[in-house]
Amino acid sequence: MPEKLAMVVFSGTVDRLMPVGIIASGAVAMGMDVEIFLTFWGLNSFRKEMIPKNMKFSRDYEEMAPMMMELMKSKNVPSWFDTLKKAKEVGNVRVHACAMTYDLMGMKKEDLADIVDDVIAVGEFVDIARDAKFTLFI
Amino acid sequence: MNEQEKVKVIDARGSFCPGPLMELIRAVKESSVGEIIEVWSSDTGSQRDIPKWAEKAGHEFLGVVHEQGYDRIRVKKKR
């Protein structure tokens, strides 16, 4: 069994979603499986319509956002979503939607990006994360 | 590095971490055992990540040649 990295993605701002894609890439490169649980703003940002238009940064770093976005654009940095998609092509990355948020926000499977594998409840995710080498809350 | 050997070149210059590593992994997957893949990278992380990855994934790290503004990093597919 390969080692496992679990990530709880709670945030929906670009500055926090970037490391989700990048760390997932590093993990699959090093032969780990990745299990991602999307909840609240994290799940919201995986809605098909949100992906291209999300330019939001965390409040704390808001004033740096235009400069960072400009820098990333001029240097052709792939989006957090494309980075995560690439990680999924290279290795075993499973993306789970939190059933509670899904119900709360009245989502349908077709609202979510294809990268999302299933909708699971917290108990199942905790069980998945139980034997992870480490778990991140982002 | 033996310059006579046939190498597959992946130009990942201008791409940021983990771009060059991910492009290398893809190229290695598509190659056959014994092939040499050379990544061109202008990214600082690649110099450390690529040898580490090669060791983990069971391939041979052949070395780095520093060029003006980028590195040529070679890996031989072993399995």
Residue A96 CA to residue B56 CA, distance in Å, equals 27
Give the closest-approach CA distance of B26 to chain A in angstroms.
Answer: 7
Active-site residue B17, yes or no?
yes
Q: Does B63 touch chain A (CB under 8 A)?
A: no
Q: What is the pLDDT of residues B11-24, one digit of tens each?
A: 999 999 899 999 99
Q: What is the pLDDT of residues A15-49, one digit of tens each?
A: 999 999 999 999 999 999 999 999 999 999 999 99
pLDDT bin (cut points 50, 70, 90) of residue B28 is very high
Residue B21 CA to residue B23 CA, distance in Å, equals 5
Query: Residues 18..37 of B with a Cβ closer than 8 Å to A: which?
Result: 18-19, 21-22, 25-26, 29
Q: Residue B3: is its pLDDT beyond 60?
A: no
Residues forming beta bridges with residue B73, ordered by sequence position: B39, B64
pTM of the predicted structure, to 2 decimals: 0.91
Q: Does B56 touch chain A (CB under 8 A)?
A: yes
Q: How far, CA to CA in Å, does B45 sit from each of A114, B15, B21?
A: 30, 11, 9
Closest residue in chain B to residue A87, using alpha carbons only: B22
Which listed residue (B7, B13, B17, B51) is catalytic?
B17
Residues 6 or more apart in contact with residue A52 via CB below 8 angstroms: none
